[in-house]
Structure 1
Amino acid sequence: MSLAHRPARRARRAAALTIATLLSAATLAACGSDDEPSGSGSDGEGVSDASITVQYSWIKNEEFAGEFYATEKGYYDEAGITDVTAIAGPSTGVAELIEGTVDVALSDAASIGAAIAEQDAPLKIIGATFQKNPFTILSLKDGADISTPADLVGKKIGVQASNENVFNALLNANGIDRDDLTVVPVEFDPTPLIKGEVDGFMAYLTNEAITVGAEQPVTNLAYAENGVPYVAETFSVTDQFLAENRDLLKAFLTAEIQGWSDVFTEPTADTVSLVEKFYNAGADAGDLNANFGPLPATTADSLEAQKELISTEETEANGLFTISDELKAQTVESLAAAGWEVDVDALFDTSILEEIYAENPDLVDYLS
């Protein structure tokens, strides 16, 4: 049985009216507040004894292995951030960023782009862990075996309500009329696929594709390879926080790079053990981890699948979290196919990463 994965992570968490209300309140707050997080100046002097609050997109599992290493090995401390508050999801982080209850959200391009396009939300993506869109249409190899977009025609595809727009983007990108297939409303448990109630199931390459695949052969129609490439697990902030806390964000991202580099260089078994430590700590704290039982046996496989989404020729050349101009443009085009029009400059500001790697070129090589 798969985790019922992130209804909130895969789409906007807040309704349009809610976001509009939050934006109004945030604007008033910004006009009347000079507060900054402790030690967060933007004077180029770095930070010391600083604090930061981070909204995770999902429960404390392998998706945040890099964050766990940054905590466990003291990279945050070394960067001058002595207090890191990590809030478990599920959440896109959009509402929390606008409310000002978190400083950074690990979100995704669809959620941030939708908020900008529909509500003019003052948000920016400053880096991305996943260079590839993690969505897939999952099918059973002994069943429909959907390996190309054309194979969708005539099939029954299970799609969650919050994922409708992104699924439509896949159809639009491949010139497929929605009337040429049947969309079946489903939740986030892939049981309908296993039972044969649907031919394909909108899933995550690092989640349902792994858990179902552990039981029987599966086929993946990956969005990233079929016309809908966009970044995910994005480091997202408000425009105001970015302007006022560049040094803090620079320190934070530096520690994150170090933490995620360890994911690639430390033995997988050690990383699984570290994930289990934080997974259980989350459960003890009463968050959502407590609802999912022990760490899944497929965690090591999920970690390996994540690496395929994180590490590309571009990141090997330029460093973790960097987003090439081409990928930025592809992301914006993918969002447009889903109905969200947003400019590259309105969605991205990766200048802090550029500074980090210019000053610390040794960090580029995360594979050794």
Structure 2
Amino acid sequence: MYTFLTCTFPCRPRRDMATLDRRAFLRTTGLAGLAFGLAACGDSGTSTASSGSGFGSVKLQLSWKKNVEFAGEYFADTNGHFKSAGFTQVELLSGGGSGTSVESGLATGRCWAGLSAPTITAPAVLQGAPLKIVGATFQKNPFAVISLNKNPIKEATDLVGKRIGVQDSNELVWNALLKANGIDAASVTRVPFQSDPSMLTSGQLDGYVGFVTSGPVNLRMQGHDPAYLLLADAGLPLVAETFTVTQQTIDSERDKLKAFLTAEIKGWKEAVADPARSAELAATVYGKDQNLDVKEQTEEAKMQNDLVVTEDVRANGLFTMTPELIEQNIDSLAKAGLTIKAEQLFDLTILDEVYEADPSLKLS
């Protein structure tokens, strides 16, 4: 039994109306209060079906509440890709809020796999958790500095002399951004922030840290002209929505994991091709209790496609990471105070085998 100390990390911005509600660092850039014991995992509670008919039922924990960010999972479920892969069911568990983190869920057997982020998984690994990232849906982390075009922040140097809304929980990544760009913290006025974009539109702020998939979309729908600077394009490249599993799953259930990732790839290929249907599934089926707006979710889906599909992804396949991107993530983690080796955190060999077995899974 492994026992870990509590580690405080940046967390997701709190919900404010319908703007930054599904966004925070708990899922994409940090770890909040992770304290768990991870057994050597003899049984995750989701073992292969004994009848030999397939892989049985498993639970996938999402990184946040059910919105369009998980469109690929909805397609894989709705269009039967999970069942075709041999699963009787893949149950999608909501994350976020007061829910259990993916890392804790893997520790307790609450889930078989989860969607997380390097800045959440790395601290757990450094504390001794036998976990690995086996793929990344978002090749670029969605976090950005959001501003208005009448006073835009489009380069890191534009931050100097500006008033930026940053939650206390996001201090770590904010400091890492400044460090990555050689910016003196004293040259930027950091303003206490609770996810209220009206502070930007009213002129109290020049910018704020938020999600590029939702912040600009909501501002635009309110009649404003937004600008943004992706942290991934400003010296802090990090992936997000990463498929995270235990080492035992890799070692003992490799074929099951490959079948699961194959179904996920098929689902995300369909999601990328149809943002409108992605939004419909999110708002009217899987996230129907979230009061989601189909139009807004459609625009989010279009925005996130740019984070999911890159030139490297078109060449190598969805969820893949080039060695260069992996090293960039390791360097970004180091800037955030997390020193870890690539082989401790990532294992992309499963995806290599998936695409080698079926090259047609790549985007056309």
TM tier, smaller? 0.7 to 0.9
- Is the alpha carbon distance of 1:128 and 1:10 closer, same or farther for their aligned partners in structure 2, counting shifts above 3 Å? closer
Aligned ranges 1:36-75 → 2 under 5 Å:
37-39=46-48, 48-75=54-81
For structure 1, list consecutive stretches of 5 or more residues without a partner in the other structure: 284-288
Report SS of the residue matched to 1:9.
Answer: helix
How far the C-alpha of 1:47 sits from its partner, in A, is 7.2
> What is the CA RMSD across the aligned residues, in angstroms?
2.0
Q: Decide which moves more: 269-278 or 202-211.
A: 269-278
For structure 2, list consecutive stretches of 5 or more residues without a partner in the other structure: 1-17
Paired amino acid for 1:60:
K
Note if contact 2:30-2:120 (Cα within 8 Å) is conserved in structure 1: yes
Determine whether 1:87 maps to 2:87: no
How far the C-alpha of 1:294 sits from its partner, in A, is 3.7
How far the C-alpha of 1:344 sits from its partner, in A, is 0.5
Count of residue pairs brought into register by the alignment: 341
Note if contact 2:20-2:211 (Cα within 8 Å) is conserved in structure 1: no
Note if contact 2:72-2:267 (Cα within 8 Å) is conserved in structure 1: yes
- Is the alpha carbon distance of 1:273 and 1:352 closer, same or farther for their aligned partners in structure 2, counting shifts above 3 Å? same
Paired amino acid for 1:330:
Q
TM-score, normalised by the number of residues in structure 2: 0.88
Identity of aligned residues (%): 40
Determine whether 1:226 maps to 2:234: yes
Note if contact 1:13-1:94 (Cα within 8 Å) is conserved in structure 2: no
Residue of structure 2 in register with 1:251 after alignment: 259
How far the C-alpha of 1:263 sits from its partner, in A, is 1.5
Q: After TM superposition, what 4+ stretches of structure 1 lie above 3 angstroms from structure 2?
A: 10-14, 33-36
Paired amino acid for 2:27:
R
Residue of structure 1 in register with 2:195 after alignment: 188
Residue of structure 2 in register with 1:197 after alignment: 204
CA distance in 2, matches of 1:248, 1:88: 22
TM-score, normalised by the number of residues in structure 1: 0.87
Paired amino acid for 2:278:
T
Report SS of the residue matched to 2:295.
Answer: coil
How far the C-alpha of 1:309 sits from its partner, in A, is 0.3
Larger RCO (alpha carbons 8 Å, 6+ apart): 1
- Is the alpha carbon distance of 1:323 and 1:337 closer, same or farther for their aligned partners in structure 2, counting shifts above 3 Å? same
Residue of structure 2 in register with 1:139 after alignment: 147
Paired amino acid for 2:226:
V
Residue of structure 2 in register with 1:122 after alignment: 130
- Is the alpha carbon distance of 1:151 and 1:280 closer, same or farther for their aligned partners in structure 2, counting shifts above 3 Å? closer
Paired amino acid for 2:68:
E
CA distance in 2, matches of 1:121, 1:14: 16
Aligned ranges 1:1-368 → 2 under 5 Å:
1-7=18-24, 8-15=26-33, 18-19=34-35, 22-23=36-37, 26-27=38-39, 30=41, 33-34=42-43, 37-39=46-48, 48-90=54-96, 92-117=101-126, 119-142=127-150, 144-214=151-221, 215-266=223-274, 268-281=275-288, 283=289, 289=290, 293-364=291-362, 366-367=363-364
Q: Deviations over 1:312-342 (max 9, x none)?
A: 1111111000010000000010111111111
Residue of structure 2 in register with 1:286 after alignment: none
- Is the alpha carbon distance of 1:102 and 1:94 closer, same or farther for their aligned partners in structure 2, counting shifts above 3 Å? same
CA distance in 1, matches of 2:53, 2:247: 20
Note if contact 1:154-1:180 (Cα within 8 Å) is conserved in structure 2: yes
Note if contact 2:279-2:294 (Cα within 8 Å) is conserved in structure 1: no
- Is the alpha carbon distance of 1:111 and 1:77 closer, same or farther for their aligned partners in structure 2, counting shifts above 3 Å? same
CA distance in 2, matches of 1:278, 1:210: 22
Q: Deviations over 1:212-237 (max 9, x none)?
A: 13321111111111111111110011
